[in-house]
Every structure is written in structure tokens, then in C-alpha cells.
């Protein structure tokens, strides 16, 4: 097993377990709607109550993403986002925040094109803590997962309602940081999860691992966040945040003075929901 006692992700989940509450994991797309606004949004997230930030790596063919996140990626690409600029965004964020964990989420193709070793070195240098690469199954661990672990980055795996007990050990074998449980079958933002089914799924995953389990897909409101936070170690919100951003843009899809506040306000509401679902401290 790899020892990750020193990553920001591990420390954050450990601290929150002591506090007796779940983490709010907020997803935003790098470079949406432009790089400068994207940096301002990143800086606003911890102050609004995000405990962990997932930063999407824009990609032209995001097959696991629903319409909201696909559109965010296309806006970012149209504004000139690249993987190199995404890494610089994280480095710029780290200029004033050394504690909030950052997870890059996306697809393998841009990393492969960048070069795995060069990417891992640049990611580590930029202040990235972990990776979620949705199209690399455990059978491909030698491609990126094992090199990432060797570089000291958490490699976070997704489990879904269709991941059965026979499959779970393979999914969890080289996972670190946390397990991301996708609470509904389908693309992101598609439907509202069944909260009681989610609770039993989290319990099932925890029988196989000591890692924190964060739940995402379909969380839209503070009430949703509270319902999941009562049972999970983290609540992941993506599409709702991206929708709040999109709703603040002008007719040409450009940022307005209301863009950063719109995102911050929703994250504050969600953080409030997560914090109402207090649990016994670890």
C-alpha cells in the first residue's frame, strides 16, 4: 500500500472526521468562462465553504459528462483553455492558498498528449493533490495510476451503482485520497439520487475500504447536500455550480460582475447544508 499521510486530501478528510462532518467537494471547469474569471472563482471557493476543489480539464469529447459540464468545457476551450493553462491556474491559486486540496478531473487523452511523466511533474509542481481520470479502468493502472501514486498524487477512482462486490476490490486496489461514488447511473447532472439507496451503497463500499467515500451526481440544493452528508464523508457538486455560473453570463457567454458572486452564493448554501448534517466526531 502507498502511504499518503502527507497529501492535502488526506489531511482535509482527517480534520473533517475529527470535526464530525462531511467535506463539500466543489467542481468547476478550468477556464470557464475565461481564465481570469476562472481564477477568481477558484479563489472564492474556499471562502464560500468548499473543502476540496475539483478542477475540470477541458476536453473536446467528454463522454461521461452531462450537458452543463460539456458546455462548460466547450466555453473554456473557446476561451483558449489548455492543459498547460489549467496547471498554471492551479499554480496561481496556490500563490495564496496552500491548504485547500485540488483534484484535477477529466479524461486521459490530454494527459497522454502532454506526456504522462511531464504531466505528473508539472501537476505536482503546480500544487495538484489528486487525479480523477474517468476513462481509465483499473486494468490500465500502469498507464497513469501507478506513476501518479509514485509521484505522490492521490488517484481517485469512481464507483457506481453497477460496481458490484466482485468488481469493487479491483476498483479500490490502487485508489487513494477518497472513493468517488457516482450515485446515479448515467451522465452528470442527469437526475436526483435516491438518498436511502446512496446510504446503503456508501456502507457497502466502506466494508471494502478505509478510505473516505464522497458522493456526487445529482446534488443540486443545500437539502440534497445535507441528506448525503448525513451518510457520506464528502458531497460532490458539479453541474449545479456550473449552471449557476452559466446563468450569470451575458448574452455572448462572457463573464459579468455577477459571475463570481453567483458561484460563491450557491457554494455557501451547499456548505451550509453539509454543515447542518453533523455526525459524531471520529
Residue 1 lies in a domain: no
Q: Work out the average pLDDT over 125-137.
A: 96
Residues with a known catalytic role: 54, 65
Residue 66 lies in a domain: yes
pLDDT of 2 over the 50 cut = no
Instruction: Indicate which CATH number applies to the domain containing 83.
Output: 3.20.20.70
Residue 282 lies in a domain: no
The residue with cell 435516491 is 194
Residue 87 lies in a domain: yes
Q: Residue 220's domain spans which residues? A: 8-276
Number of structural domains in the chain: 1
Residue 151 lies in a domain: yes
The rounded distance, in Å, linking the Cα atoms of 73 and 112 is: 18
How far from 103 is each of 26, 53, 81, 157, CA to CA, in Å? 10, 6, 17, 12
SS3 for 188-256, per residue? Answer: CCCCCCCHHHHHHHHHHHHCCCCCCEEEECCCCCHHHHHHHHCCCCEEEECHHHHHHHHHCCCCCCCCC
| Region of residue 55 (phi > 0: left; psi between -120 and 50: alpha; otherwise: beta) | beta
pLDDT tens digits along 39-56: 999 999 999 999 999 999
pLDDT tens digits along 144-202: 999 999 999 999 999 998 899 999 999 999 999 999 999 876 555 555 667 778 889 99
The rounded distance, in Å, linking the Cα atoms of 32 and 195 is: 30
Q: Name residues whose C-beta falls within 8 Å of residue 47's C-beta, 6 or more positions apart in sequence.
A: 264
pLDDT tens digits along 202-231: 999 999 999 999 999 888 999 999 999 999
Residue 2 lies in a domain: no
Residue 159 lies in a domain: yes
Q: Name residues whose C-beta falls within 8 Å of residue 22's C-beta, 6 or more positions apart in sequence.
A: 16, 214, 228, 229, 232, 233, 234, 235, 274, 277, 279
The rounded distance, in Å, linking the Cα atoms of 53 and 201 is: 24
pLDDT of 3 over the 80 cut = no
Amino acid at each position: 500500500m502507498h502511504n499518503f499521510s502527507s497529501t492535502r486530501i488526506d489531511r482535509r478528510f482527517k480534520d473533517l472526521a475529527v470535526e464530525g462532518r462531511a467535506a463539500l467537494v466543489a467542481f468547476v471547469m478550468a477556464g470557464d468562462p475565461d481564465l481570469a474569471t476562472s481564477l477568481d472563482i477558484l479563489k472564492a471557493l474556499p471562502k464560500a465553504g468548499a473543502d476540496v476543489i475539483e478542477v475540470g480539464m477541458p476536453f473536446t469529447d467528454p463522454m461521461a459528462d452531462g450537458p452543463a459540464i460539456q458546455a462548460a468545457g466547450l466555453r473554456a476551450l473557446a476561451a483558449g483553455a489548455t492543459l498547460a493553462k489549467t496547471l498554471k491556474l492551479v499554480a496561481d491559486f496556490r500563490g495564496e492558498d496552500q491548504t485547500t486540496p485540488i483534484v484535477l478531473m477529466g479524461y486521459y487523452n490530454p494527459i497522454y498528449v502532454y506526456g504522462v511523466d511531464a504531466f505528473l511533474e508539472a501537476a505536482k509542481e503546480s500544487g495538484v493533490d489528486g487525479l480523477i481520470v474517468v476513462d481509465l479502468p483499473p486494468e490500465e493502472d500502469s498507464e497513469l495510476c501507478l506513476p501518479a501514486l509514485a509521484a505522490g498524487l492521490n488517484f481517485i477512482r469512481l464507483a457506481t451503482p453497477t460496481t458490484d462486490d466482485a468488481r469493487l476490490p479491483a476498483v479500490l486496489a490502487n485508489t487513494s485520497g477518497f472513493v468517488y461514488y457516482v450515485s446515479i447511473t448515467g451522465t452528470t447532472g442527469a437526475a436526483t439520487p435516491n438518498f436511502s439507496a446512496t446510504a446503503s451503497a456508501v456502507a457497502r463500499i466502506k466494508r471494502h475500504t478505509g478510505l473516505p467515500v464522497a458522493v456526487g451526481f445529482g446534488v443540486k440544493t443545500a437539502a440534497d447536500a445535507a441528506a448525503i452528508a448525513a451518510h457520506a464523508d464528502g458531497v460532490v457538486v458539479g453541474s449545479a455550480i456550473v449552471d449557476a455560473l452559466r446563468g450569470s453570463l451575458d448574452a455572448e457567454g462572457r463573464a459579468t460582475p455577477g459571475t463570481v458572486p453567483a458561484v460563491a452564493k450557491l457554494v455557501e448554501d451547499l456548505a451550509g447544508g453539509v454543515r447542518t448534517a453533523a455526525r459524531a466526531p471520529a
